[in-house]
Chains A and B, each alone.
Chain A
Amino acid sequence: MNLQILIDNLPYLLWGAFPDGALGGAALTLLLSVISSIAAGVLGLLLGITLALAGGVGHSALLLVLGFFRAIPVLMLIFWTYFLLPVAFGIDVPGLVSVACALSLIGGAYLAHAVHAGIAGIPHGQWQAGLALGLSRWQVLRHVILPQSLRMMLPSFINQWVSLIKDSSLAYIVGVPELSFVAAQVNSRLMVYPAEIFLFVGAIYFILCSGLDALAGVVSRRFASR
Chain B
Amino acid sequence: MKRRAAIFLGLGLGLALASGIAQADKLDDIRKAGVLRVAAFDANPPFGFVDEQSKKIVGLDVDYAFELGKKLGVKVELVPTNPANRIPLLTSGKVDLVFANFTITEERAKVIDFSIPYFASGQQFLAKKGTLKSADQLKEWRIGADKGTTMETTLREKYPTAKVISYDDTPFALTALRNGNVQAITQDGAKLVPLLAALPDKEKYEIPAFAISEELEGVGIPKGETRLTTTINDWLHELEKNGTAQKIYDKWFGPHSKSPLPRLFKIGDAHIRDK
Report A's interface with B, CB cutoff 8 A. 12, 16-17, 20-21, 82-84, 86-87, 89-92, 173-175, 177, 184-185, 187-189, 191-192, 194
Contacts and interface: CB of A to CB of B under 8 A. Distances in A.
A63 B30 CA distance: 44
Interface in B20-74: 20-21, 42-43, 49-50, 52, 54-56
B43 A175 contact: no
Given A175-B42, A188-B43, A194 B92 contact: no
11 contacts: A16-B55, A17-B55, A20-B55, A86-B94, A89-B17, A90-B14, A175-B42, A175-B82, A187-B175, A189-B52, A192-B200
A12 B51 CA distance: 12
B198 interface: yes
Interface in B172-202: 172, 174-175, 178, 198-201
Given A173-B168, A174-B85, A21 B94 contact: no
B42 A185 contact: yes
Interface string B2-29: 0000000000001001101100000000
Contacts, number: 73
Contacts of A184: 43, 169, 171-172
B149 interface: no
Given A17-B55, A17-B56, A175-B42, A191 B93 contact: no
Interface SS of B by simple majority = mixed
Given A89-B14, A185-B43, A191-B198, A175 B92 contact: no
Contacts of A185: 42-43, 50
Interface of B: 14, 17-18, 20-21, 42-43, 49-50, 52, 54-56, 79-82, 85, 88, 91-94, 168-172, 174-175, 178, 198-201
A12 B21 CA distance: 38
B42 A189 contact: no
A20 B54 contact: yes
A177 B80 contact: yes
Secondary structure call for the A interface: helix
A177 B80 CA distance: 9
Given A188-B172, A192-B178, 11 more contacts: A12-B55, A83-B92, A87-B92, A90-B21, A175-B81, A184-B43, A185-B43, A188-B174, A189-B43, A191-B175, A194-B175
Contacts of A192: 178, 199-201
Contacts of B82: 175
B209 to A, nearest CB: 24
A17 B80 CA distance: 14
Nearest to B80: A175
A174 B94 CA distance: 11
A174 B89 CA distance: 9
A24 to B, nearest CB: 9
Contacts of A90: 14, 17-18, 20-21
B147 to A, nearest CB: 10
A87 B91 contact: yes
Nearest to B50: A185
B239 to A, nearest CB: 27
A37 to B, nearest CB: 25
Nearest to B15: A90
